[in-house]
Amino acid sequence: MTKQLAEIRHLTAVGVGPGDPELITVKGLKALQAADIVFVPQSRDGNKSLAWRIVADYIDQSRQEVVSLLLPMTRNPRELVPAWEAAVDVIEGKLSAERPLGVYVLLGDPLLYGSFMYIWERLNENGLGPDVQVEIVPGVTSFAATAAATQTVLSMTHERVAILPASYETIANLKQMFETFETVILLKAGTVLPQLLETLEQLDLLDHAVYGERVGMPEEVVVTDVRQLLGQKRPYLSLLIVNKRINEMF
Amino acid sequence: MTKQLAEIRHLTAVGVGPGDPELITVKGLKALQAADIVFVPQSRDGNKSLAWRIVADYIDQSRQEVVSLLLPMTRNPRELVPAWEAAVDVIEGKLSAERPLGVYVLLGDPLLYGSFMYIWERLNENGLGPDVQVEIVPGVTSFAATAAATQTVLSMTHERVAILPASYETIANLKQMFETFETVILLKAGTVLPQLLETLEQLDLLDHAVYGERVGMPEEVVVTDVRQLLGQKRPYLSLLIVNKRINEMF
């Protein structure tokens, strides 16, 4: 790298995929291995180790610096905003002319329910735009991995797909979604799973759903008969795929 | 590989991603390179070369056989069904105890609007289930790549995403979608682009949309001011991402 290039600092957000380290893209892997500094978001409930495990196999800690960023798993802006601001300060402080290449790793895809966009917004607000070049490397989503693991078709040619953050939905709204969409993907389903499954039961959809949790990780849970989960709360990184075709066509 | 293993034939559907050869996953690449036979769907309008270009760099044609499967780009079942059946016959005929590892390559993700599921359904109907083991390797979608290329956030934590095959939608239905969903992704938008953009104009959403066509390929077209496209029809492999945040927040 020439001196001129090194005067620009780079931050590449890499979606490392849903959990299986081999579901990182070739492009993401190259960015990761070229990085001087690898930023790994970390939460108190163990999410750090999930993203970390994926990158741990691929990086060289004798050459590359790994920096944890504490991002609490909460909706409370009074906790979140200071955490994002602190993360931005850390990123700004670490990227330098000598070590200009940073990578920010995320599970799944960076722009679909990721933490990076909140950091990015603040990087822009701080006027870092011209000085820190941001690039995004897309990733495989958790729902694509769950569909693959359960051999569930997400959508045929003419079908509509709704992706919903389950814990923000009302039951009435969910019912309407199932009427309008052939496929409904309920993300972050675990903590509200009892209510979701009850709604599916009322709508006679229990036989037309599959459940995936940390798919591709050693702790993977995949359930194709979701009646087994009735009444259970499950972890946050979990989802349901609902489509009337499930258990009908194949 | 032991003789015992070779008695089972394998067909792995690999989502090679949206266009950039580096957006294949490590897992997909390994499956591709391990394959004896690589099945490449081909249509009359040049789609063959799109998937083909992605795999061409990665395979060794002195060792691996490449087989084209003709799948017309049409909704007419009188053309489609015989094409799928012919493809199944080809796959069955090619996979053997001597050459048991087949890969079927698709753009994007195999289970989201892919051609593989139609082939798969017929493989199952032919009773091949116990003899041909099917595996799915998920892939990066075209909308994730378009979001990355245009630096467009697809969804913040609380937002809902609708994925719609644009050419099947009515204008009235689209209007309702924009009211209900923070983010609407319109796939296969090119052929109906004039109507779609007219609807966006009526709803005052023209400034809140980005357009991507063959993103990551040499022919990539990315447009962040979609007014430039008013009145134009564009190719099939194209999409719009609409979200009121676009051009507002960042």
Q: Domain check: are A154 and A217 in the same one?
A: yes
Q: Does the predicted interface ipTM exceed a cut of 0.90?
A: yes
pLDDT of residue B5: 47
Q: Domain check: are B90 and B177 in the same one?
A: no
Query: What CATH number does the domain containing B226 carry?
Result: 3.30.950.10
Within 13 Å and on the Cβ side, how many CA atoms surround B203? Answer: 22
Average pLDDT over all residues of chain A? 90
Helix (H) or strand (E) holding B179: helix B171-180
For residue A134, give both structure tokens: 């941001």
Q: Please list the pLDDT of chain A residue by residue as tens digits (250 residues).
A: 444 545 789 999 999 999 999 999 999 999 999 999 999 998 765 555 688 889 998 999 999 999 999 888 778 888 889 999 999 999 999 999 899 999 999 999 999 998 899 999 888 776 655 578 999 999 999 999 999 999 999 999 899 999 999 988 888 999 999 999 999 999 999 999 999 999 999 999 999 999 999 999 999 999 999 999 999 999 988 999 999 887 765 4
For residue A117, the enclosing domain spans 3-137
Q: Domain check: are B77 and B167 in the same one?
A: no
Q: What is the largest CA-CA distance in chain A?
A: 65
Q: Domain check: are B119 and B217 in the same one?
A: no
Find out whether B223 and B209 touch, Cβ atoms under 8 Å.
Answer: no
Amino acid present at B21: P
Tens digit of pLDDT for each residue in B86-142? 999 999 999 998 999 999 999 999 999 988 999 998 887 766 555 789 999 999 999
Beta carbons of A26 and B24 less than 8 Å apart: yes
Q: How many CB atoms lie under 10 A from the CB of residue A65?
A: 14
Find out whether A239 and A189 touch, Cβ atoms under 8 Å.
Answer: yes
Separation CA A122–CA A119 (nearest Å): 5
Total count of residues recorded for chain A = 250
Residue B248 lies in a domain: no
Q: Domain check: are B96 and B216 in the same one?
A: no
Instruction: Compute the nearest-CA separation of B141 from chain A (Å).
Output: 8
Q: Domain check: are A111 and A224 in the same one?
A: no
Tens digit of pLDDT for each residue in A203-219? 999 999 999 999 999 99
Residue A250 lies in a domain: no
pLDDT of residue B130: 57
Q: Domain check: are B26 and B116 in the same one?
A: yes
Residues of B with Cβ-Cβ distance to A250 under 8 angstroms? 120-121, 124
Q: Domain check: are A160 and A106 in the same one?
A: no
Residues of A with Cβ-Cβ distance to B18 under 8 angstroms? 138
Residues of B with Cβ-Cβ distance to A141 under 8 angstroms? 138, 141, 144
Beta carbons of B111 and A148 less than 8 Å apart: yes
Residue B60 lies in a domain: yes
Q: Whose structure tokens read 């496929």?
A: A183
Separation CA B79–CA A232 (nearest Å): 47
Tens digit of pLDDT for each residue in B187-209? 999 999 999 999 999 999 999 99
Q: How far is CA A35 from CA A25, A66, A100, in A?
A: 15, 10, 8
Residue B33 lies in a domain: yes
Which of A90, A110, A137 corresponds to the end of one domain? A137
Q: Domain check: are A128 and A192 in the same one?
A: no
Find out whether B87 and B119 touch, Cβ atoms under 8 Å.
Answer: yes
Q: Domain check: are A132 and A9 in the same one?
A: yes
pLDDT of residue A46: 52
Amino acid present at B7: E
Q: Tell me the whole-structure pTM to 2 decimals.
A: 0.94
Mutate to test the interface with A, among B12, B29, B135, B140 (most CBs of A within 10 A): B140
Which of A83, A108, A137 corresponds to the end of one domain? A137
3-state secondary structure of A147: helix
Residue B202 lies in a domain: yes
Find out whether B145 and B18 touch, Cβ atoms under 8 Å.
Answer: yes
Residue A27 lies in a domain: yes
Residue A232 lies in a domain: yes
Which of A137, A168, A201 corresponds to the end of one domain? A137
Q: Domain check: are B8 and B121 in the same one?
A: yes
Residue A192 lies in a domain: yes
Structural domain total, chain A? 2
